[in-house]
Amino acid sequence: MTQTARGTGSDLGVGAGVPRPDGLLKVTGEFAYSSDLYLADMLWGATLRSPHPSAWIRAVDVGPALAMPGVHAVLTHEDVPGERFYGLEHKDQPVLAIDQVRYQGEPVAIVAADHPETARRAADAIVVTYEPREAVTDPRRALFDPGCPKVGPEGNLVRHQPVRVGTVPPTAEVVVTGEYEVGMQDQAFLGPESGLAVPAEDGGVELFVATQWLHVDQDQIAPCLGLPKDKVRLALAGVGGAFGAREDLSMQVHACMLALRTGRPVKFVYGREESFFGHVHRHPARMRYEHGATREGRLVYVKAEIVLDGGAYRSSSPAVVGNAASLGVGPYEVDNIHIDAYGAYTNNPPCGAMRGFGAVQACYAYESQMDRLAEACGLDPVEIRVRNAVSQGSRMATGQVIDSPAPLAGMLRELAAMPLPGSSCSPDLRALPGGVAQTTHGEGVRRGVGYGVGIKNICFSEGFDDYSTARVRVELLGDEPHILVHTAAAEVGQGLVTVQAQIARTELAELADLGAARVTVAPADTSVGSAGSSSASRQSYVTGGAVRAACVAVRERLAALRAEHPGLGPAELLRAHGPVEETREYRHRPTHPMDPLTGQGDSHVQLALCVHRAVVDVDVDLGLVKVVELAAVQDVGKILNPPALEGQIHGGSAQGLGLALMEEIQVRDGRVLNPSFTDYLIPTILDMPPMRLSILENPDPAAPYGLRGAGEPPTLSSTPAIAAAVRAASGLALPRVPIRPQDIALAPAAPAR
């Protein structure tokens, strides 16, 4: 039941519902993922990981592993050829642990063997003498207890970002306070970390890998290998989902080290359990909020303390803290703001990028607060949001003025006006909480409706030089015009390859209209300039912008040629002149750091809104939830590809549903308790309901085609909408996500409403 405002465009150009080239291959199981890479003479890599969240390493004996038949190399930190540390923003993470381990699962040694089983057994045969020590697992203690052991290089503070706007009065007519908690969510991509490193004749290495950003991998790998960058060449292998989890390195340096040491290709494929230790997760958060408002529900002030647990290494925690702070009051007009956002080092699993990136956690808290405020003011949840909604011209918490359309009030009204689904008196168990497990025939089931609003920054913020590069070549192949688009942008499943081709068709329509022009999007690799990361909902914007710029440059060259040779069509021109190729870098407008004391500054490129309404049925006796419907309104500026866009909104909403109801890496004393898809649950088709969508196209004049990044915003707002709906059904406060069955069924107080 999807309704979409269709974009315009030619059959295969921007706005058209062009099918993705990998779609059929993926649903038929034919798509070659990075885990399918194979060379006849390759070796298999395996990783020995720390069983302790915090320990000194007293000795490592690789002898028993080396003695095993079939083992070709066993390497430790002593074998790292170059720099021994890497990191996205700060090089604090050892390639292999040196004298200590700081989290459970930290790589200690690597093995290459002629069989994956042999490699794993050899890794198990390495003898490491650990001296376990106290693990720091409480982020508040890590930050605020001076007696707490230090996990990070200079202490346990990764970043503290205050936001200070106006003066927070001691009180307001209506004040609501709340403490909220968000559990550790995993990206749960289906294609585990994998890749193949092949030694090259020039002493370098070629790495085929599933990643989100080839060039930032290259920037980190080359120094660790002690090689110049041009000797570390990367090509994108088939990516089975990313969601932020492939921003940091996993097996990249390890595979290259083993390939260079053995002179053989080396392949790594993490197993599912290992994958849970092989990538960063979403930061768990503990948040204290205080909202002051007038009796009419106009916000007077917001105070917040947001503590994000970054785990053992820095990863992208500083930027995550920046987002939590700058977006910490949500898309609401507030004159007085006092926010302190902190990122902490602990001995918990490292956390970093995940879809929504710091905005998700804050959104859950501020939206929970808006509902409490609505109740305190006797207002409808939609009305309180409308009264405080930002619009074009509003100031964000950072002082940044929203300078493109932000029609939040209208979006909320449209959402609230959508018809509600009928009550579920269906005899089909699949329509009830618990599904076919038949926990109810309707007993204890109560309906609830909730709303959520989110605002997400699009592209990299805070002064980052965020650009993409595209090379476009037009030539005759077989006497037919052919367009080749080459970027290093990672197709991680979002449909970027399709969009690049659509842009080329639109911008070079002159050639396409010949009816014969074919468009090829070349495989992504490092032989072209950086495209930046497939994250922050930025690729359509930045790589889309680069492809468009390169196409425009090609078009202008062709126009100039035509002026020189009047009367020749594009094909004749290409025949006479030869290929026309242009490479362009595209940069979005510059951003600026947040003031370290006040948080002020134009730190974001673009802001995107999504609003959700959730309808749930809750079995209040058992605490089981059936999400009956999710409805969403999102403003994307310009629809590039309707089905791909809808897929992003459906997927983002599903990931938000997972966070609301089931997805949590359970960590106790620094140890992960559920590293499997048996016990880390992600929504199935019986959990994710049909969606009602309204997609708006209010263009951002600063962005290519007016587009607004779309992948992340739905992940923000679906979680608080579902939580609000469960609260409405149960009458419980539910200050934590995911909401567990016992949080509802064993709630201490009887339902109040």
Partner 1 sequence: MDFLRPATWAEALAAKAADPTAVPIQGGTDVMVEINFDVRRPPALLDLTAIGELGDWELTADGLLRVGAGVPYARIITELGDRLPGLAQASRTVGSPQIRNRGTVGGNLGAASPAGDAHPPLLACDAVIEAESAARGTRMIPATGFYLGVKRNALEPDELIRAVHLRPATGPQYFSKVGTRNAMVIAVCSFALALHPGERRLGAAVGSAAPTPLRARAAEEFAAREFDWSGATALDPALLARFGELAAEAASPIDDVRGTAAYRRHAIAVLARRTLTWAWNDYRGKAAA
| Structure tokens that stand for 425 in this block | 């008196």
By CB under 8 A, tell whether 626 contacts partner 1. Answer: yes
Q: Which is nearer to partner 1, 658 or 704 (CB)?
A: 658
CB of 446 to partner 1, least distance (A): 15
CB of 181 to partner 1, least distance (A): 17
Q: Which is nearer to partner 1, 191 or 358 (CB)?
A: 191
φ, ψ at 394 (rounded to 5°): -70, 160
By CB under 8 A, tell whether 753 contacts partner 1. Answer: no
**Contact set for partner 1, span 107-146 (CB under 8 A):** 120
| Structure tokens that stand for 484 in this block | 């080749």
Stretch that binds partner 1, among 190-198, 552-560, 629-637, 680-688 (CB under 8 A): 680-688
Q: Fill in the per-residue mask, 270 to 289: x = in contact with partner 1 (CB under 8 A), - = not in contact.
A: -x-x----------------
Q: Which is nearer to partner 1, 316 or 730 (CB)?
A: 730
Q: Which is nearer to partner 1, 185 or 457 (CB)?
A: 185
| Structure tokens that stand for 257 in this block | 């080290």
Beta pairing partners, 303? 290, 338
CB of 183 to partner 1, least distance (A): 12
**Residue 141 neighbours by CB distance under 10 Å:** 15
By CB under 8 A, tell whether 78 contacts partner 1. Answer: no
Beta pairing partners, 336? 301
Could you tell me which of 460, 456, 647, 651 has the C-alpha nearest to residue 541? 460
- Break the chain down into helix, strand, coil percent, rounded to 5: 30, 25, 45
Residue from 166, 673, 702, 751 in contact with partner 1 (CB under 8 A): 673
By CB under 8 A, tell whether 430 contacts partner 1. Answer: yes
By CB under 8 A, tell whether 434 contacts partner 1. Answer: yes
CB of 120 to partner 1, least distance (A): 8
Contacts of 175 (CB under 8 A, 6+ apart): 290, 291, 292, 293
CB of 687 to partner 1, least distance (A): 5
CB of 493 to partner 1, least distance (A): 22
| Structure tokens that stand for 23 in this block | 């779609």
- The per-residue DSSP string of 387-447 comes to HHB--TT-B-TTS-B--S---HHHHHHHHHHSPPPPP---S-GGGSTTGGG---SSTTEEE
- The per-residue DSSP string of 645-660 comes to HHHHHHHHHHHHHHHH
CB of 725 to partner 1, least distance (A): 16
**Contact set for partner 1, span 216-245 (CB under 8 A):** none
By CB under 8 A, tell whether 435 contacts partner 1. Answer: yes
In angstroms, the CA 594 to CA 165 distance is: 13
Q: How many residues bind partner 1 (CB under 8 A)?
A: 39
Residue from 149, 410, 731, 741 in contact with partner 1 (CB under 8 A): 741
User: In three state form, how does the secondary structure of 515-550 look?
Assistant: CCCEEEECCCECCCCCCCCCCCCCHHHHHHHHHHHH
Q: Fill in the per-residue mask, 682 to 701: x = in contact with partner 1 (CB under 8 A), - = not in contact.
A: -xxxxx--------------
CB of 196 to partner 1, least distance (A): 22
| Structure tokens that stand for 447 in this block | 């309906």
By CB under 8 A, tell whether 552 contacts partner 1. Answer: no
Q: Fill in the per-residue mask, 648 to 667: x = in contact with partner 1 (CB under 8 A), - = not in contact.
A: -------------xx---x-
Dihedral of CA atoms 528, 533, 537, 542 in degrees, nearest 10, equals -30
CB of 303 to partner 1, least distance (A): 34
By CB under 8 A, tell whether 68 contacts partner 1. Answer: no
- At 630 the three-state DSSP class reads strand
In angstroms, the CA 38 to CA 661 distance is: 39
CB of 673 to partner 1, least distance (A): 5
Query: Taking phi first (over 0 means left), then psi (-120 to 50 degrees means alpha), and beta for anything else, what does residue 430 get?
Result: alpha
In angstroms, the CA 343 to CA 321 distance is: 6
In angstroms, the CA 313 to CA 347 distance is: 9
CB of 653 to partner 1, least distance (A): 16
In angstroms, the CA 135 to CA 142 distance is: 10
Residue from 123, 299, 622, 660 in contact with partner 1 (CB under 8 A): 622
By CB under 8 A, tell whether 262 contacts partner 1. Answer: no
By CB under 8 A, tell whether 194 contacts partner 1. Answer: no
In angstroms, the CA 463 to CA 460 distance is: 8
**Contact set for partner 1, span 437-476 (CB under 8 A):** 437-441, 443-444
In angstroms, the CA 510 to CA 125 distance is: 64
CB of 630 to partner 1, least distance (A): 15
By CB under 8 A, tell whether 433 contacts partner 1. Answer: yes
Q: Which is nearer to partner 1, 129 or 666 (CB)?
A: 666
| Structure tokens that stand for 585 in this block | 């870098």
Residue from 98, 235, 516, 745 in contact with partner 1 (CB under 8 A): 745
Distance of CA 155 to the CA centre of its chain: 27
By CB under 8 A, tell whether 740 contacts partner 1. Answer: yes
| Structure tokens that stand for 74 in this block | 């066993």
CB of 2 to partner 1, least distance (A): 21
CB of 444 to partner 1, least distance (A): 8
Tell me if 673 sits within 8 A of 417, measured CB to CB.
no
Q: Which is nearer to partner 1, 331 or 433 (CB)?
A: 433
Q: Which residues bind partner 1 (CB under 8 A)?
A: 120, 271, 273, 430, 433-441, 443-444, 621-624, 626, 661-662, 666, 673-674, 676, 678-679, 681, 683-687, 740-742, 745-746
